[in-house]
Amino acid sequence: MQYGFFDDLNREYVITTPTTPYPWINYLGSQEYFSLISNTAGGYSFYKDAKLRRITRFRYNNVPLDLGGGRYYYINDGGDVWSPGWAPAKKELENYECRHGMGYTKISGERGGVETNITFFVPLNTNAEVHKVIVKNKTNDNKKVKLFSFVEWCLWNALDDMTNFQRNYNTGEVEVKGSVIYHKTEYKERRNHYAFFSVNAPICGFDSDRESFIGTYNGFENPQAVYAGQSNNSVADGWHPIASHCVEVDLEPGETKEYIFLLGYVENDLEDKWESKNIINKKKAEAMIEAFKTVDAVDKALKELSEYWDQLLSKYRIDSADDKLNRMVNIWNQYQCMVTFNLSRSASYFESGIGRGMGFRDSNQDLLGFVHQIPDRARERIIDLASTQLEDGGAYHQYQPLTKKGNDEIGGNFNDDPLWLILAVVAYIKETGDFSILDVMTPFDNDETKSTPLSDHLKRSFDHVIHNLGPHGLPLIGRADWNDCLNLNCFSMEPGESFQTTTSKDGKVAESVMIAGMFCYIGEEYAKLMKKTGNDSEADRAYLEVDKMRKTIMEHGWDGSWFVRAYDDFGRKVGSDDNEEGKIFIESQGLCIMGNCGMEDGKAIKALDAVEERLATKYGLVLQNPAFTKYYVEYGEISTYPAGYKENAGIFCHNNAWIMAAEALVGRGDKAFDYYTRIAPAYTEEYSEIHRMEPYVYSQMVAGKDAKRHGEAKNSWLTGTASWNFIAISQYILGIKPEYDGLQIDPSIPKSWDGYKITREFRGDIYEITIKNPNHVSSGVVKLTVDGKEVEGNILPIFGDKKKHVAEVILG
């Protein structure tokens, strides 16, 4: 069952009922000001950091879920109170539609002959969101309605705001000037930032104190001021500051009126100091309000946003016979890659924005799916990440985006972390050809006195693995590897400790075959990079280490039919046929094959066959099998999950992409693409009632075959699934791979395909690539021509003339 449809021309998903199986959200903003907005206008906004600079308040885990706060609008039409986005008033609408597009959301609702259409977006280079509200009288009579706006301010630090009431109920301060309501509560550190909410029309009243607006015993669905048809002109003094305007809208039959509301944030410089504690410096807010005071200016900004996305999405485009594939590759997957790049795992309807900052492992991987869009921002991110690295090559697991400092509370010791940095840097250089990044002096632990060139950080990442090998010569797992919940060093865990820091044998026994596979895959990339930069001795050293690790994997990491997952703290195999539960894990199959293990002797194929037999379901591949049905103290958190959920045999969509890549590498394009379609959202749309999450973006996890709710997704939006699935489809399956010297063409597709066309902007040139499959094979380029001339091999050369080049590829 569907709850809407894709409008590909407008790059929108159109939701046709407000009561989707779960709030289906979108993100506004892609630079510094961000908003989450649901299909009923719920959500919140923040500046840079969802924890430290939260602008509007949101209650997670609310009942009902999506009434936790939002940008709410109400209409009072002669006593009939309703909301154009259905919520919060929840009055039945005669028409409802929500269009989530690239960086904007349009919600329209109609009741009693009044149609209200609201476009929400964050203009480029602006720290504010626009709400363009259009009210239309569709009746033959004059209408006099009152339009109320509403946002609730958060007192900046979202965690403190939710917990420290004894203090915070005293601090709220606002200032009202004309149609602008300023929120100027200072936070403990006393900075002179503030927020504001304005409308470009005279108002008939306002409220800035929540209780006055809503009433002590009412809720968002029935604020007393809206029902009374009159604001109270309340000025908040502590308690809960809000901003609500009341606008009188008089409409003749058929008449339309448009209003621009602006919700903005101002980060003042020192010279912009407030005049006094009571009067804030409004210059910057006034300039923003001025810039967006007319409908023309707003429409222009919306057009600019659309052109910005035209340009971002033009870098990789497919034209194929499969609409679902086209919309995933051309629109939604790339869009989600941008969102995960910006927000890591910080703020979604599953991540509270206070728990996590930017992940080291996560951000490096997110960058893989984003680097072609805005390489300069990827470069900056790489330096931010590498600056949090530790001298021994290890890394803080996360950092806070506002301070860019490593987060001590979470610490480090996830032994896969350092390798992802190498992969990100390699992807950046292959995309841009900018080797100079390797020379950037980059601090350790943000300490400028401890700076070395980025290339040295990569070396330390590589060495971190070989300095931390276990009894079998495989990498020690540390606190966990990519699988956060496989905690093999955990027996001395103290009650109440959430993450294990102590181990029975000082963490010197438990090993990860997954990290070993990663080391072969990413370590080889490191070796190639060293070769490319002329550092032959380092390249040779790296190749030797990688070779050695491959041998170790085949000796100690091969179980007979698949790759072992790990060794536990007793030196026993994890993910082996010898185990009763958790016999086979997905991660080591994907990564070892990507690391070129078992390719020549048929072992890779054998492992992939085992994946199909034991892990595949119609909704995707489960993480391991059989699921754990009891708690294993020696495995940790993974076995605390009920069977079929999360890391305990859920379908973790992130690692499904590694199997797609592995299938593509062994030349089985049919299987690679089949797995792709099992989890790609456009293909899950038709069973949205089971899947429940947004059909336009990936979710982190879908309940596995052992779960009661098999097929139901959770944790949509912020997941490495976005970038890895984009890599799997764009590079491994469709086969367009950036390389140091050109664009490599190496498809691995279903045999039935006749061909497809890719347009790829690369190093400034535009390649129009037509891939033909006359003999119905999966892979193998037999002929490649560029601009009519045949090219040896399968690499399109770099022309550097910023022109269009037409390539034809024949598979056979």
Which residues are part of the catalytic machinery?
A: 484
411 DSSP assignment: -
Residue in 423, 362, 418 with CA at minimum distance from that of residue 395: 418
Q: Which two tokens stand for residue 113?
A: 């002959």
Q: Does 124 bind ligand BGC (CB under 6 A)?
A: no
Phi, psi dihedral angles at 47 (to 5 degrees): -110, 115
CB of 156 to ligand BGC, least distance (A): 25
Cα radius of gyration (the chain): 28
- Parallel, antiparallel or unpaired: strands 765-772 and 804-811: parallel
| CB nearer ligand BGC, residue 498 or residue 537 | 498
How far apart are CB 49 and ligand BGC at their closest, in Å? 18
Point out the residue whose Cβ comes nearest to ligand BGC: 484
**CA distance linking residue 209 with residue 718, whole number of Å:** 34
Interface with ligand BGC, residue 646, by CB under 6 A: yes
- Looking at the DSSP bridge assignments, the partners of residue 13 are 6, 100
A 10 A CB-CB count for 752 gives 11
- Decide whether 485 or 766 has the Cβ nearer to ligand NOJ: 485
Nearest distance from residue 47's CB to ligand NOJ, in Å?
Answer: 23
In the complex with ligand BGC, the residue whose CB is nearer, 646 or 671, is 646
* Cβ closest to ligand BGC, residue 646 vs residue 691: 646
How many angstroms separate the CA atoms of 694 and 20, rounded?
Answer: 9
Q: Which does 361 bind (CB under 5 to 8 A by kind): ligand NOJ, ligand BGC, none?
A: ligand NOJ
CA–chain centroid gap for 177, Å, is 38
Q: Which residues of 392-420 are buried (b: 16+ CB within 10 A; e: fewer)?
A: ebbbbbbbbbeeeebbeebbbbbbbbbbb
Give the β-pairing of 4-7 and 12-15: antiparallel
Residues 6+ apart with CB under 8 A from 345: 351, 356, 359, 362, 718, 719
Q: What is the C-alpha separation between 582 and 575, in angstroms, rounded?
A: 5
Residue whose tokens read 């159109």: 14
CA dist 68 and 800 (Å) reads: 52
Please state, in angstroms and rounded to a whole number, the distance separating the CA atoms of residues 158 and 171.
Answer: 15
Q: How far is the CB of 397 from ligand BGC (least distance, A)?
A: 8
Select the residue interacting with ligand BGC from 647, 663, 685, 694 (CB under 6 A).
Answer: 647
Of the two residues 187 and 632, which places its CB atom closer to ligand BGC in the complex? 632
Residues in the chain: 812
Answer whether the bond into residue 747 is a cis peptide, omega within 30°.
no
Rounded to the nearest whole angstrom, what is the least distance from the CB of residue 771 to ligand NOJ in the complex? 33
Q: What is the 8-class DSSP label of residue 389? A: B
Query: Of these partners, ligand BGC, ligand NOJ, none, which one is at the site of residue 482 (CB under 5 to 8 Å by kind)?
Result: ligand NOJ
Site string for ligand BGC, 440-479 (x = CB under 6 A): ----------------------------------------
Q: Nearest distance from residue 675's CB to ligand BGC, in Å?
A: 21
Q: Which regions of 514-641 does DSSP assign to beta strands (E)?
A: 566-567, 573-574, 584-585, 616-617, 620-621, 624-625
> Residue 85 has which token pair?
């986005």
Paired tokens of 551: 């041998």
- The angle that helices 417-432 and 375-386 make with each other, rounded to 10 degrees, is 150
696 neighbors 13 (Cβ within 8 angstroms): yes
CB closer to ligand BGC, 205 vs 650: 650
Coil, strand, or helix at residue 160? Answer: helix
Give the nearest distance from C-beta 360 to ligand NOJ in angstroms. Answer: 9
Distance CA 805, CA 787 (A): 6
**CA 339 – CA 34 distance, rounded (Å):** 10
Residue 44, C-beta contacts closer than 8 angstroms, at least 6 positions apart = 35, 36, 54, 55, 56, 57, 58, 69, 70, 154, 353
For residue 124, the 8-state DSSP code is: T
CB of 482 to ligand BGC, least distance (A): 9
List 484, 609, 670, 808, residue binding ligand BGC (CB under 6 A): 484
485 near ligand BGC, judged by CB under 6 A: yes
CB 345 within 8 A of CB 385: no
Helix (H) or strand (E) holding 130: strand 128-137
**DSSP type of residue 469:** B
Both structure tokens of 643:
């069977």
CB of 700 to ligand BGC, least distance (A): 7
Residue 411 interacting with ligand BGC (CB under 6 A): no
Task: Name the residue among 198, 221, 9, 197 with its Cα closest to residue 99.
Answer: 9
Using CB under 6 A, which residues numbered 42 to 101 contact ligand BGC?
none
- Judged by beta carbon distances under 5 to 8 A according to partner kind, the member of ligand NOJ, ligand BGC, none in contact with residue 612 is none
Query: Smaller CB distance to ligand NOJ: residue 397 or 550?
Result: 397
Are the beta carbons of 345 and 362 closer than 8 angstroms?
yes
Neighbours of 741 (CB within 10 A): 12
Q: Which residues contact 465 (CB under 8 A, 6 or more apart)?
A: 415, 418, 419, 475, 515, 519, 523
What single DSSP character describes residue 395?
B
Binding site for ligand NOJ (CB under 6 A): 345, 359, 361-362, 482-485, 647
- Gap between the Cα atoms of 198 and 734, Å rounded: 48
Return the DSSP state at 775.
T
Shortest CB 655 distance to ligand NOJ, Å: 8
**What are the residues binding ligand BGC (CB under 6 A)?**
484-485, 646-647
